């Protein structure tokens, strides 16, 4: 794995609080839950993602000698015996979570950590960092899949992703929700995600003649010839391709596709389709890219643009219209007692919780119930134990399994939730006992 | 360094194009330039950032045996002798760039790579990935500095940054433009950026009594006591702090600051300031956080909210209102001949370019001239040679030097460019010879 899991990738206050817990001998079990407070505008649901990386982080959690030496000299107040304690610190707790690919809604925890408070606290910053990003991207990318079902969708987001890890994990998040693959090569090596590539304008521009560029590319990539046609003039490029095709065919090379990357993609595609068909290249597909997102895809499909596949980049891999989730990782119980934060606008539901999903007769999701873990409720319990005493209880789901879970879950949503331009609110009921516990905590004086 | 610089962190088409260049023996010098096409809404200028990481990437560029073995079996068409060629591939070219911290405008290249085309091509995806992100964040973060000059600003963005690298590099980008520091510990270890931390709600909630939580924290962090007051009720928390202060003082511990993280920050700060002053804690500062950005900072300062410092997080570290830049890395010359892409809406200025900045008599920036590298122009030449034959020509600027460059440059901008809510267009003139070259290329047939 190429992820940065240094325990120093954390907020300073985690370490200063840990020194405080250490000084007071506070090591009781803490229960933290990660949840999203509010849906971003234009999202009807979210898709849980990032659990695999979160578990890897927890499994590998340890300070190196170099990191401890650095902490000793970094100018903040950490005692020597506290640094010894950090040196021995590993994650030994339990993790309960919704499997990756589960649809969820505000206030529903998708991950719960139960561990001695120093362990549960120190992992906060990175756990949020890992869960929020892939959940953000999966929940954005599914919208492209819904807008262009049955189309070939490829993640083109690496270059404008926020750094290396974002590029790599965005490839994973969008493959998880149904993209066909990614252009990011490392995502194949690390996650086994299919990769697709075409050619760039620079390849054409490095040749004196566009037709020769096409010919060279086809000979070098005989199994997958996708030619970029908008470097200078699309119809001139298509003319060249039509003239080139017969000689390539004699060498057993077929032109799989052409790519359009600028201008009015729909109009250009219609013109290109016509020319290709007339030119005997009826099997050559059209691939489009450039500033695409679910709205653009839906419009192109509505206009019946004859486009077979799309490269979806920046707007998906940065979740351009909503580049963050209002999410939190909050203490819900300590030393056996439920806790509740009451800050204005940031109140939490206390205690260890479970989410139950209820379906109607036709198998469509009806509503969810947010309840305490130990109360019996009807419906499908979405949160499962995935780690016990710092060890996984089962092997991770494959990306293929997660893709299937996403598809099944999305199909069971009422159809209006699958619209990309309609806002519908989902009903999450709060169980009687959870309401009572909340009320009881509010009555206590602090 | 903790960055992911695998050469496989690239788009597949870079590798397939390289196979094409290899098959044709194309190894002539290529000139690529990185530039931004258009300012995002609400940005009057951009700040160049990320060069240091780009140069590190170029210096270390090499495929490992493991990566080459993987490529041989990955299912794409790469010939054996091409993989041998990749195994020997290093970056041996020249780099010209604007120093980090330079203010720049659309169409102005901030980096130029001159190298045999395979080298200049293969680095594209990561070069864009590195330059666009830090430039994006520096150009967003400067707006907070402009909105709240002389305030103590701390980057709180890690948890909702897009992955680890984004969190780490955002800390660098915002420190570069004048933030006081970051909460991200690793940014201190890697970049020497000052770190600041307070306490989280969980620390308070893990105690039965808020006052005891405050006392414990103060004793563990006697040099930097910042207490979070909004877990339950701010005025009750301040009462507790005022009652606690005398006994702490007897142990030589002062309460440096209190932090507010929710609700109406301005109103709460006024109430808190009054209580602290009356309670004998006139020296205790107020620190605020929670959904802050430059607009919120400006409003709080306009309302004269008595806040001394701010934690600025998600909205800055994701550049929430504009999470990407419309930027490109384009071939401008190959084998000694200038090249020009003409795709609709994506036309480029061809050739190797220099940017000249002209100042008026008072030393204020008047306009820029985009010219060919080899033409003489008045003004300050902004692009310098930073790497020759794959080796740096000088040691990198320190972050302190870059901070000074940013401050000086920003001060020399006409004042309306420093307004955060006013849009002003900057004049970039195109030199006569550059216009002529462009026209000449357009006349040629392709």
Q: What is the pLDDT of residue A118?
A: 98
Residue range B252-257: average pLDDT?
A: 97
- In A373-402, the residues whose Cβ lies within 8 Å of chain B are none
Q: How many domains are there within chain B? A: 2
Q: Are A90 and A62 within 8 A, CB to CB?
A: yes
Asked whether residue A95 falls in the same domain as residue A180, the answer is no
Q: Which residues of A touch B236 (CB under 8 A)?
A: 446
Q: What is the pLDDT of residue A45?
A: 98
Does the residue B438 lie in any domain?
A: yes
Strands annotated E in A295-412: 309-312, 326-334, 337-338, 353-359, 365-372, 380-381, 384-388, 391-392
Residue range B374-389: average pLDDT?
A: 96
**Residue A358 lies in domain:** 12-136+324-443
Asked whether residue A46 falls in the same domain as residue A83, the answer is yes
Q: Which residues of B touch A13 (CB under 8 A)?
A: 183, 197-200
Q: Of A6, A17, A348, A351, which to mutate for an interface test with B (greatest number of B Cβ within 10 Å)?
A: A17
For residues B33 and A275, give the distance between their C-alpha atoms in angstroms, rounded to a whole number: 34
Asked whether residue B305 falls in the same domain as residue B328, the answer is no
Instruction: Provide the Cα torsion B232, B234, B240, B241; round to 10°.
Output: 130
Asked whether residue B163 falls in the same domain as residue B16, the answer is no
DSSP string for residues in A22-36: HHTT---EEEEEEEE
Q: Closest chain B residue to A348 measured between Cα atoms?
A: B231
Asked whether residue B297 falls in the same domain as residue B350, the answer is no
Q: What is the pLDDT of residue A443?
A: 87
For residues A137 and A121, give the distance between their C-alpha atoms in angstroms, rounded to a whole number: 26
- Out of A290, A317, A344, pick the residue that ends a domain: A317
For residues A109 and A348, give the distance between their C-alpha atoms in angstroms, rounded to a whole number: 11
Q: How far is B434 from chain A (nearest CA, A)?
A: 18
Q: Which SS3 state, helix, strand or coil, does residue B156 take?
A: coil
Does the residue A194 lie in any domain?
A: yes
Strands annotated E in B335-407: 337-338, 353-359, 365-372, 380-381, 384-388, 391-392
Structure letter (DSSP) for residue A158: G
For residues B333 and A206, give the distance between their C-alpha atoms in angstroms, rounded to a whole number: 8
Does the residue B4 lie in any domain?
A: no
Q: What is the pLDDT of residue B446?
A: 47
Residue A296 host element (H or E): helix A294-302
Q: Is A134 on the interface with B (CB under 8 A)?
A: no
Q: Which residues of A touch B78 (CB under 8 A)?
A: none
For residues B147 and B149, give the distance between their C-alpha atoms in angstroms, rounded to a whole number: 6
Q: Closest chain A residue to B328 measured between Cα atoms?
A: A159
Q: Are A255 and B53 within 8 A, CB to CB?
A: no
B77, A220: Cβ pair inside 8 Å?
Answer: yes
Q: Is A171 on the interface with B (CB under 8 A)?
A: no
DSSP string for residues in A251-290: TT--EEEEEE-SS-HHHHHHHHHHHHHHTT-TT-EEEEES
Q: Are A53 and A168 within 8 A, CB to CB?
A: no
Does the residue B5 lie in any domain?
A: no
Q: What is the pLDDT of residue B353?
A: 98
The parts of chain A modelled with pLDDT lower than 50 are: 1, 446
Q: Which residues of A touch B188 (CB under 8 A)?
A: 74
Asked whether residue B111 falls in the same domain as residue B241, the answer is no
DSSP string for residues in A213-246: HHHHHHHHSTT-EEEE--SS-HHHHHHHHHHHHH
Residue A271: CATH number of its domain: 3.20.20.70
* Closest Cβ opposite residue B446 in set A209, A221, A340: A209
Q: What is the pLDDT of residue A283?
A: 97
A200, B124: Cβ pair inside 8 Å?
Answer: yes
Residue B312's DSSP bridge partners are B155
pLDDT at B419 over 50: yes
Q: How far is B270 from chain A (nearest CA, A)?
A: 17
Q: Of A164, A317, A330, which to mutate for an interface test with B (greatest number of B Cβ within 10 Å)?
A: A164
Residue A389: CATH number of its domain: 3.20.140.10
Residue B97 host element (H or E): strand B94-97
Does the residue A7 lie in any domain?
A: no
- What sign for the dihedral angle of Cα B15, B19, B24, B26? positive
For residues B94 and B111, give the distance between their C-alpha atoms in angstroms, rounded to a whole number: 10
For residues B12 and B27, give the distance between their C-alpha atoms in angstroms, rounded to a whole number: 20
Does the residue B271 lie in any domain?
A: yes
Asked whether residue B310 falls in the same domain as residue B330, the answer is no
Q: Which SS3 state, helix, strand or coil, does residue A105 take?
A: coil
- Residues 6+ away with beta carbon under 8 Å from B395: none
Does the residue A241 lie in any domain?
A: yes
Structure-block tokens of residue A51: 């659990």
B16, A199: Cβ pair inside 8 Å?
Answer: yes
- Out of B267, B296, B317, pick the residue that ends a domain: B317
- What sign for the dihedral angle of Cα B369, B370, B372, B373? positive
A158, B199: Cβ pair inside 8 Å?
Answer: no
Task: Quick: pLDDT tens for B74-105.
Answer: 999 899 999 999 999 999 999 999 999 999 99
Q: Which residues of A touch B131 (CB under 8 A)?
A: none
Q: Is A185 on the interface with B (CB under 8 A)?
A: yes
B201, A345: Cβ pair inside 8 Å?
Answer: no
Q: What is the pLDDT of residue A445?
A: 53
Does the residue B112 lie in any domain?
A: yes
Q: Is A9 on the interface with B (CB under 8 A)?
A: yes
Asked whether residue A97 falls in the same domain as residue A41, the answer is yes
Strands B152-155 and B309-312: parallel
Q: Is A1 on the interface with B (CB under 8 A)?
A: no
CB atoms within 10 A of CB B89: 17
Residue B31 host element (H or E): strand B29-38
pLDDT at B233 over 90: yes
pLDDT at B318 over 70: yes
A21, B199: Cβ pair inside 8 Å?
Answer: no
Q: Of B2, B117, B262, B324, which to mutate for an interface test with A (greatest number of A Cβ within 10 Å)?
A: B324
Q: What is the pLDDT of residue B4?
A: 87
Q: Are A109 and A257 within 8 A, CB to CB?
A: no
Q: What is the pLDDT of residue B2?
A: 56
Closest CA to A289 of A155, A191, A134: A155
B202, A323: Cβ pair inside 8 Å?
Answer: no
* Closest Cβ opposite residue A216 in set B20, B188, B219: B20
Q: Which SS3 state, helix, strand or coil, does residue B431 take?
A: coil
Q: How far is B193 from chain A (nearest CA, A)?
A: 11
Residue range B12-39: average pLDDT?
A: 97
Task: Quick: pLDDT tens for A279-306.
Answer: 999 999 999 999 999 999 999 999 999 9
Asked whether residue A253 falls in the same domain as residue A295, the answer is yes
Q: Which residues of B touch A22 (CB under 8 A)?
A: 220
* Closest Cβ opposite residue A262 in set B21, B156, B346: B346
Q: Is A121 on the interface with B (CB under 8 A)?
A: yes
* Closest Cβ opposite residue B343 in set A23, A67, A231: A231
* Closest Cβ opposite residue B220 in set A20, A74, A343: A20
Q: Is the ipTM of this complex over 0.85?
A: yes
Q: How far is A286 from chain B (nearest CA, A)?
A: 17
- Out of B317, B335, B363, pick the residue that ends a domain: B317
Asked whether residue B290 falls in the same domain as residue B334, the answer is no
A220, B74: Cβ pair inside 8 Å?
Answer: no
Q: Closest chain B residue to A315 measured between Cα atoms?
A: B324
Give the strands of the sheet with A353-359, arranged side by side: A380-381, A353-359, A365-372, A428-430
Q: Is B11 on the interface with A (CB under 8 A)?
A: yes
pLDDT at B183 over 90: yes
Asked whether residue B83 falls in the same domain as residue B153, the answer is no
Asked whether residue A114 falls in the same domain as residue A196, the answer is no
Q: Is A168 on the interface with B (CB under 8 A)?
A: yes
Query: In chain A, count of helices (H) and strands (E)?
Result: 16, 19
> How many Cβ pairs within 8 Å bridge chains A and B?
365
B30, A206: Cβ pair inside 8 Å?
Answer: yes
- Predicted TM-score (pTM) of the model is 0.97
């Amino acid at each position: 794995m190429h992820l940065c899991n240094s325990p120093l990738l954390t907020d300073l206050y985690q370490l200063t609080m840990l020194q405080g817990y250490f000084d007071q001998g506070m090591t009781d079990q803490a229960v933290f839950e990660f949840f999203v407070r509010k849906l971003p505008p234009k999202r009807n649901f979210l898709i849980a993602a990032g659990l695999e990386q979160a578990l890897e982080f927890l499994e590998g959690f340890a300070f190196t000698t170099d990191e401890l030496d650095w902490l000793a000299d970094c100018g903040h107040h950490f005692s020597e015996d506290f640094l010894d304690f950090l040196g021995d610190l590993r994650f030994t707790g339990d993790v309960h979570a919704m499997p990756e690919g589960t649809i969820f809604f505000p206030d529903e925890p998708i991950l719960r950590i139960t561990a001695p408070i120093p362990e549960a606290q120190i992992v906060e910053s990175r756990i949020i960092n890992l869960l929020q990003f892939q959940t953000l991207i999966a929940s954005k990318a599914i919208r492209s899949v819904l807008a262009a079902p049955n189309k070939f969708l490829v993640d083109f987001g690496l270059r404008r992703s926020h750094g290396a890890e974002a590029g790599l994990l965005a490839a994973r998040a969008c493959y998880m929700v149904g993209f066909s693959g990614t252009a990011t090569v490392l995502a194949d090596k690390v996650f086994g995600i299919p990769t697709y590539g075409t050619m760039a304008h620079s390849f054409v521009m490095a040749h004196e003649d566009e037709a020769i560029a096409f010919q060279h590319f086809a000979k070098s990539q005989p199994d997958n010839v996708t030619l970029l046609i908008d470097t200078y003039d699309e119809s001139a490029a298509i003319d060249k391709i039509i003239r080139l095709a017969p000689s390539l065919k004699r060498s057993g090379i077929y032109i799989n596709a052409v790519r359009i990357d600028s201008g009015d993609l729909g109009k250009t595609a219609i013109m290109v389709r016509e020319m290709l068909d007339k030119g005997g290249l009826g099997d050559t597909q059209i691939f489009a890219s450039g500033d695409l997102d679910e709205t653009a895809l839906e419009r192109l499909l509505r206009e019946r643009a004859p486009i077979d596949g799309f490269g979806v980049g920046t707007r998906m891999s940065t979740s351009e219209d909503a580049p963050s989730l209002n999410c939190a990782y909050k203490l819900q119980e300590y030393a056996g007692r439920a806790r509740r934060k009451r800050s204005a606008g940031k109140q939490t539901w206390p205690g260890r919780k479970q989410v139950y999903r209820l379906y109607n007769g036709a198998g469509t999701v009806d509503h969810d119930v947010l309840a305490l873990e130990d109360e019996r409720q009807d419906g499908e319990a979405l949160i499962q134990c995935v780690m016990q005493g710092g060890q996984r209880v089962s092997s991770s789901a494959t990306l293929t399994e997660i893709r299937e879970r996403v598809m099944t879950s999305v199909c069971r949503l009422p159809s209006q939730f699958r619209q990309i331009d309609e806002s519908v609110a989902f009903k999450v009921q709060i169980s009687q006992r959870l309401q009572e516990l909340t009320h009881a905590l509010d009555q206590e004086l602090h």
